[in-house]
């Protein structure tokens, strides 16, 4: 009889431990989710594309899009292209769908662009002559930075 009681006590202890572990994991996840929802979340996408005005299509541009995927509004204050050496090209306000600083509420975005030919000339002047890895970067008024994935930019190709 003692042996059965000992086994059932161990089973009770094991079940209690499992329930406590589950509760701890669940509360940790919920705390993380609440913190994540309060933090600004901006997704940056860098790509090649074209601008359109009526039926006209522009020459190739590098497009940078910042989208607020979080619940908290974010005020973007600057944007640019990061170069491999850590320096950057800053975007001018007339090359965007909105002027900086601009507030992005949940689900809103802003797009900015660089014309590839002048960019290639400037990169050549800085000593770049082959393929350069570029990344779109935005920052907000709270000094948070949001950086996109790299794209490859062939300086020589765009100089032709």
Question: Tell me: the pLDDT tens digits for 30-72?
Answer: 877 676 666 789 999 999 999 888 888 988 999 999 999 988 8
Mean of pLDDT values over 125-147: 93
Mean of pLDDT values over 141-149: 93
pTM (predicted TM-score)? 0.73
Dihedral sign (CA 106, 42, 80, 123): negative
153 closest CA partner among 138, 133, 139, 137 = 133
CB 66 within 8 A of CB 76: yes
Q: Are strands 61-68 and 56-57 parallel, antiparallel or unpaired?
A: unpaired
- The string of pLDDT tens digits covering residues 72-112 is 899 999 999 999 988 988 866 578 888 889 999 999 999 99
46 closest CA partner among 79, 21, 23 = 79
Look at residue 93 in the predicted model and tell me its pLDDT.
59
Look at residue 3 in the predicted model and tell me its pLDDT.
52
Q: How confident is the model at residue 1 (pLDDT cuts 50, 70, 90)?
A: very low
Tokens representing 106 are: 């949940």
Cis peptide leading into 101, omega within 30 of 0?
yes
Look at residue 92 in the predicted model and tell me its pLDDT.
64
């Amino acid at each position: 009889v003692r042996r059965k009681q000992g086994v059932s006590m161990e089973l009770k202890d094991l079940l209690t431990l499992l329930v406590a572990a589950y509760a701890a994991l669940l509360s940790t996840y919920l705390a993380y989710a609440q913190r994540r929802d309060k933090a600004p979340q901006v997704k940056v996408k860098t790509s090649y594309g074209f601008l359109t005005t009526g039926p006209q299509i522009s020459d190739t541009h590098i497009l940078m899009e910042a989208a607020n995927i979080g619940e908290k509004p974010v005020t973007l204050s600057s944007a640019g292209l990061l170069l491999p050496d850590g320096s950057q090209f800053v975007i001018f306000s007339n090359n965007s769908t909105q002027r900086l600083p601009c507030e992005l509420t949940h689900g809103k975005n802003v797009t900015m662009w660089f014309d590839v030919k002048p960019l290639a000339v400037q990169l050549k002047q800085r000593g770049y002559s082959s393929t350069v890895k570029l990344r779109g970067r935005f920052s907000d008024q709270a000094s948070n930075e949001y950086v996109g994935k790299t794209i490859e930019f062939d300086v020589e190709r765009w100089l032709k």
